Structure 1
């Protein structure tokens, strides 16, 4: 079996690429980093360290790389021949890789099925990737691709921190991982036992988004304002950890109300998530987690959506608005979104800036609560 994976960064190598290789796929990584690509082609394998109570290492084998710019023809050929195409490039990059995927898919044999899965930290990223791919196809090509390609949305979860190493390919990961794939969209068997294939992905998307991502964001944005470097340091703070817990208690109400999750099971899940964030073997940087605040403050994202859902059912959240207010202070040089957000706030104020990025009316109770926090 052949897989083409776009994105040879830490998540690509340490999570998706590793699972695919373990499942028996030969994995071709596509990336712009020529040092990583050259090393993959020279060695054909790399080391993954699992940072649990006892560190363990294993080798990921049968891998190679293609430079996404210089090897455009090779990328097209690899997609043309693949049984599976996956991504871990960041949601904002999907539009840039879609044309290359489209070219490969449009040249496939009409009998050769393929699955395409965007493994991004975003809601239904594969659906977004599909739109971009079909925008690069003629109607006739689109009809042919629709017949042979399955575009399956997925929810992914694994902390893969940036750990300094003299080895350009070595990567460190946490022990926990989850890859949930919507099976109804697959054209053929995924062939990865470690992936959970389900009929309805929505409950898993929002459970992960409103627990893992909300909790991570709460720790990162509060930690940033207090000057902490890592998520684990932030969670030692006597005010930040209770805020994270309170935010997840609020999202728990949403998950139970909407999907009927069991309360005790969700509380256990929250405990597991907070324990993961405190893993002493992983240093996850506050700045890494907080980057891209405009996207993370979007209407369908980890903070604003659950807060609005609570308002809609007559609740009055406190921890989520406080976390959102912390997020509005996030500013890291080189992070374009945080720089743009600060410009919006300086020009219009906290409430109007949030209303703009979250697509809310300024009269919305969340915006009013943000204004109250700003005027304290």
Structure 2
């Protein structure tokens, strides 16, 4: 079996590529980083360090790589011969890789019409559907018809913490033991692609929301509250009993929303929360707070990790979720100079106040009870400023 994977970064090598190789695929990484591409070609293997209670070293073998800028023809040939195409490039790069994927599909259809699955493993909702839209924009009318018949674009949800890398080896990558790769079966052509460790689900929505409202929500709270106390890593912040209590409270609130909406078993979800907390305090990892906290405007969006569960909690229970409110207030206090969104957010707050920022970025009107509560929490944080 052959897989073409776009993105030879830490997630690509340490998560997706690793699982594909373990599943028996010959993996061809496609990237623009010439050093990484060259080393993958030369070595044909790389190390993955699983950082748990005891570090475990795994070797991923039988891999190769192509430079998408200088070896476009070879990339097209690889897609034409592939059984699976995956990506882990970042949502903003999907439009850039769509033309070569489309060209590869056009070439494939002239040779054979065997089923192919495409899975975009990005930290976004509907990533593969987004990629499909970009790819179809570059296909001929005949190519679009053949792709509809023979190419299954499968949405997925991925979850694995890949911390800051400290190895001298450019190919070595450290990852946490936990991972989840949920793939929606709705658009499968024929049989599901064999992927060790992945699980296939009929409806991806609840899995995406569970991750967003638990992992992303908790990560964000730890980072924004930790930034207020000048901690450097999420792991340091979670050693602070006050921050840990706030994170647990917020996840209890977002968890109540999930249990109510999806009819989940409360104890099972509590176990998932405890597993998530355990991931945040893993002493073998080092999650930089500024990295986790960056892009606060995006993370303040109405469908994102803090506002969405807070609004849904208020709607379902007619009560203000104080843990989530604390996280939102801490986000509004994030003023990291190196982050362009943080600078823009602070300028908005200076000009329009907290309520103006929440109206502009979160879609909340000034008289919404959440806005009132966030303003109060923000004022308290400002008064107790430790920086």
Same topology, TM > 0.5 = yes
Residue 103 of structure 1, CA deviation: 2.2
For structure 1, which segment, 74-83 or 357-366, has the greater mean C-alpha deviation from structure 2 after superposition?
357-366
Deviation at 1:98, TM superposition (A): 2.2
| Contact 1:250/1:317 (<8 A) preserved | yes
Which residue of 2 is the match for residue 373 of structure 1?
377
Give the secondary structure class of the aligned counterpart of 1:357: helix
Partner of 2:75: 75
Trace 1:234-249 onto structure 2 (pairs within 5 A). 234-249=237-252
Residue 163 of structure 1: CA displacement? 2.0
Cα distance, 1:15 vs structure 2: 0.4
- 2:383 corresponds in structure 1 to none
Q: State the Cα deviation string for residues 120-143 of structure 1 (Å, max 9, x = none).
A: 122222122222222333444322
2:186 is paired with a residue whose SS is helix
Q: Distance in 2 between matches of 1:88 and 1:206?
A: 20
Change (3 A) 1:113 1:286: same
Structure 2, gaps ≥5 residues long: 381-387
**1:297 has 2:300 as partner:** yes
Q: Encode CA deviations 1:226-246: one digit per residue, 9 max, x unaligned.
A: 111111100111211011001
- Provide Cα deviations, 1:2-46, integer angstroms capped at 9, x if missing partner: 111111111111000000001011111122221111111111110
Match of 1:357 in 2: 361
CA distance, structure 2, for counterparts of residue 20 and residue 189 of structure 1: 14
Cα distance in 1, alignment partners of residues 169 and 20 from structure 2: 22
Give the secondary structure class of the aligned counterpart of 1:162: coil
Q: Residue 107 of structure 1 aligns to a residue in which SS?
A: helix
Flag the 1:142–1:339 CA change in 2: closer, same or farther, 3 A: farther
Q: Which of 125, 130, 133 matches 1:131? A: 133
Q: Which of the residues 253, 257, 266 maps onto 2:256?
A: 253
Aligned pairs for 1:269-288 within 5 A: 269-288=272-291
8 Å Cα contact 2:86-2:118 kept in structure 1 = yes
TM-score of the superposed pair, with normalisation by structure 2: 0.92
What SS does the aligned partner of 1:185 have? coil
2:98 aligned residue = 98
Find the aligned partners of 1:139 and 1:367 in 2 and give their Cα distance. 49
Conservation of the 8 A alpha-carbon contact between 1:99 and 1:136: yes
1:212 aligns with 2:200: no
Residue of structure 1 in register with 2:321 after alignment: 317
Aligned equivalents of 1:374 and 1:275: distance in 2? 28
Unaligned segments of structure 1, at least 5 residues: none
Output the CA distance in 2 between the equivalents of 1:14 and 1:178. 13
1:148 maps to which residue? 150
Q: Secondary structure at the match of 1:200?
A: coil
Q: Rg bigger for which structure?
A: 2
**RMSD (Å), alpha carbons:** 1.8
Distance apart, 1:50 and its partner CA? 0.8
| SS of residue in 1 equivalent to 2:108 | coil
Inter-partner Cα distance in structure 1 for 2:345 and 2:97: 26
Q: How far off its partner does 1:165 sit?
A: 1.2
Counterpart for residue 85 of structure 1: 85
Match in the other structure for 1:107 = 107
The 1-side partners of 2:336 and 2:140 are apart by: 41
Q: Per-residue deviation at 1:333?
A: 4.3
Q: Give the Cα–Cα distance (whole angstroms) in 1 for the partners of residues 247 and 365 of structure 2.
A: 27
Q: Is 2:172 the partner of 1:170?
A: yes
**TM-score, normalisation: structure 1:** 0.94
Q: Structure 1 stretch 222-231 or stretch 123-132: which is displaced more?
A: 123-132
SS in structure 2 at match of 1:184: coil
Distance 1:318 1:239 in 2: 14
